[in-house]
Structure 1
Amino acid sequence: MSREQELRDQIIEKAWADASFKEQLIADPKSAIRDAFGIEIPAHFNVQVLEETQDNYYLVIPENPQDVARMSYESLGRWR
């Protein structure tokens, strides 16, 4: 499992366990992640948090691996 996936899992688990954190995560994801996990997300990086319900399912289409392979790690702008 990648570090990004591990962090994603930790964020979801915390949101399930802590309603206040979940509210902050939905309203201001960067601040919520910084405050809870000490991770500063760059200003140019956009983070959206959506909560699935029984009636709403969200399908995220990731970047095309062919396009990503052409880019350097630094140009991807991934946060660590």
Structure 2
Amino acid sequence: MSLESLKVQVIKKAWEDPAFKQQLLADPKAAVKDAFGVELPQEIQVTTVEETASHYYLVIPPNPEDIAGGNSNVEVVW
């Protein structure tokens, strides 16, 4: 399963399952592991927030040029 596919599945499940959404908001790594059997690496941090009709979040991903020579694996995050 690709990480983009996992992201889509997590969002869809959160829309359909209120209990999962609450767990995802409280402890995203545990929620993903429990629901999908995917354990995210310890060094990866995940923050889950919920947008509303009047409150949006803009996520600016890392610039690939800033990490191209490093050991970071941005794809692991999403």
**What's 2:12 paired with?**
13
Q: Which has the higher contact order (CA 8 A, sep 6+)?
A: 2
Q: Which runs of 5+ in 2 are unaligned?
A: none
Between the two proteins, the alignment pairs up a number of residues equal to 76
Deviation at 1:41, TM superposition (A): 1.1
Deviations 1:23-46 (A, max 9, x none): 000000010000000011122211
Q: 3-state DSSP class of the match of 1:12?
A: helix
Deviations 1:15-66 (A, max 9, x none): 0000000000000001000000001112221100000001110000000010
Matched, 1:76 2:77: no
Hey, what's the Cα distance between the residues in 2 that align with 1:39 and 1:46?
A: 14
Hey, what's the Cα distance between the residues in 2 that align with 1:50 and 1:56?
A: 11
Q: Equivalent pairs: percent with the same residue?
A: 49
Hey, what's the Cα distance between the residues in 2 that align with 1:65 and 1:45?
A: 17
List 4+ stretches of structure 1 deviating above 2 A: 75-79
Q: Which runs of 5+ in 1 are unaligned?
A: none
For residues 3-42 of structure 1, what are the structure 2 equivalents within 5 Å? Answer: 3-42=2-41
* Matched AA of 1:8: K
TM-score by length of 2: 0.87
TM-score by length of 1: 0.85
CA RMSD of aligned residues (A): 1.8
* Matched AA of 1:43: Q
Hey, what's the Cα distance between the residues in 1 that align with 2:10 and 2:30?
A: 13
Deviation at 1:68, TM superposition (A): 2.4
